[in-house]
DNA sequence: GCGATATATATCGGCAGCCGATATATCCTG
DNA sequence: CAGGATATATCGGCTGCCGATATATATCGC
């Protein structure tokens, strides 16, 4: 969008890896859990994201294990990955805050509640002052 | 990604329209301003987003003005648009919070700071948030 | 033992969405 | 008159997500 701005899928993969290394399938389940079931990463999405993040140096292959005959390929965040995720989280929080603030400003503009027709109250004096 | 989950461009367009109706070019400048210059929507992006949001019933054409020979097409949020934006802001804040929390958990796992070999200070009590 | 399900990897084609380039038109400044 | 800001709109290309598909092993129920 702007300079680089990561995709949603990439954000959630990084978030899933933020506390500890995980393997592909584990990331899928972890993303679902940490988002309260709202975000369901698809298998077809995962490996493309993993490749791109690796190419960008945000994650690295941590180790490979063979657990009961099944291969597990564990990835972990690099320092750069942590910093990038942190910055993105900051941006998202700022964006969410801006949206919330503006919704409130918009509600102040037009008579939303419509409790009783007569006089309108002084339209909320100082609120939302700064707005960044 | 999941069910619907709007795109970043759509989110910022909705946010720009949250406080008052604006026309296309005004949205472009407003998004840049409200994001502190970090997000630069392109003209080529805008109209596709506007069409999609209109088709989804999240915005509507408010009015058309001719200001000094230049046409201005103003859009505004519908009630559905406000609700959708609000929900998305909530999701983003939750995601940002989850990422921050997990980064902190990850840092707790491995000895991050390494300031001086002896005793490490109590790891900075409340800070973390700072930097922005 | 066999089929279904879960775990675990990987690839490919299609489609949606963002961007750069381009086009048109008016107004202002130098 | 040239250049830039304002203001609209379109199109081709590339990136990225998803659904489908393939392969392989372990587990559980029947």
Q: State the pLDDT at residue B82.
A: 96
Q: State the pLDDT at residue B125.
A: 42
Whether the pLDDT of residue A26 is over 60: the answer is: yes
Kindly list the distances between the CA atom of residue B7 and the CA atoms of A62, B48, B66, in Å, as whole numbers in the listed order.
32, 12, 31
Q: Determine whether B127 is exposed, middle or buried from the number of CB atoms within 10 Å of its CB (0-12, 13-18, 19+).
A: exposed
Query: How sure is the predictor about A107, in pLDDT bands with cuts at 50, 70 and 90?
Result: confident
Q: State the pLDDT at residue B23.
A: 95
How far apart CA A83 and CA A85 sit, in angstroms, is 6
Whether the pLDDT of residue A111 is over 70: the answer is: no
- A109 CA: distance to closest CA in chain B (Å): 8
- B1 CA: distance to closest CA in chain A (Å): 7
Element (H, E) at A92: helix A79-109
Q: Which residue is nearest to nucleotide D10 (CA to C1')?
A: B44
Domains in chain A: ranges and CATH: 8-107 (1.10.10.10)
The reply to whether residue B15 touches residue A132, judged by beta carbons under 8 angstroms, is no
Q: State the pLDDT at residue B131.
A: 44
* Pairing of the two strands A22-23 and A70-77: antiparallel
CA angle B130, B131, B132 (to 5 degrees): 100
Whether the pLDDT of residue A131 is over 80: the answer is: no
Q: Would you say A59 and A78 are in contact if contact means Cβ atoms under 8 Å apart?
A: yes
The reply to whether residue A18 touches residue B82, judged by beta carbons under 8 angstroms, is no
The reply to whether residue A38 touches residue B91, judged by beta carbons under 8 angstroms, is yes
**Which regions of A1-132 does DSSP assign to beta strands (E)?**
22-23, 59-67, 70-77
Tell me the H-state helices in B1-132: 8-17, 24-34, 43-55, 79-109
Q: State the pLDDT at residue A115.
A: 53
* CB of A2 less than 8 A from some CB of B: yes
Question: Beta partners for A13?
Answer: none
Tell me the average pLDDT across A93-120: 77
Whether the pLDDT of residue A14 is over 50: the answer is: yes
pLDDT tens string, chain B, 132 residues long: the values are: 665 689 999 999 999 999 999 999 999 999 999 998 999 999 999 999 999 999 999 999 999 999 888 899 999 999 999 999 999 999 999 999 999 999 999 887 766 555 544 444 444 443 343 344
- Torsion (CA) A14, A97, B93, B60 in degrees, nearest 10: -100
Query: How sure is the predictor about A112, in pLDDT bands with cuts at 50, 70 and 90?
Result: low
The reply to whether residue A19 touches residue B105, judged by beta carbons under 8 angstroms, is yes
Q: State the pLDDT at residue B130.
A: 38
Q: Would you say A2 and B38 are in contact if contact means Cβ atoms under 8 Å apart?
A: yes
**Tokens coding A67:** 């657990």
B17 sits in the region (left: phi over 0; alpha: psi -120 to 50; else beta) called alpha
Q: Which residue is nearest to nucleotide C12 (CA to C1')?
A: A44
């Amino acid at each position: 969008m702007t300079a680089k701005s990561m995709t949603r899928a990439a954000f959630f993969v990084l978030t899933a890896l933020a506390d500890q290394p995980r393997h592909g399938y584990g990331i899928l389940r972890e993303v679902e859990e940490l988002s309260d079931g709202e975000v369901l990463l698809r298998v077809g999405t995962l490996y493309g994201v993993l490749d791109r993040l690796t190419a960008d140096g945000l994650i690295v292959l941590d180790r490979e294990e063979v657990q009961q005959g099944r291969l597990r390929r564990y990835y972990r965040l690099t320092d750069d990955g942590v910093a990038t995720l942190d910055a993105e989280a900051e941006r998202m929080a700022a964006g969410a805050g801006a949206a919330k603030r503006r919704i409130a400003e918009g509600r102040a503009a037009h008579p939303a509640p419509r409790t009783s027709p007569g006089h309108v109250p002084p339209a909320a004096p100082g609120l939302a002052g700064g707005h960044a």
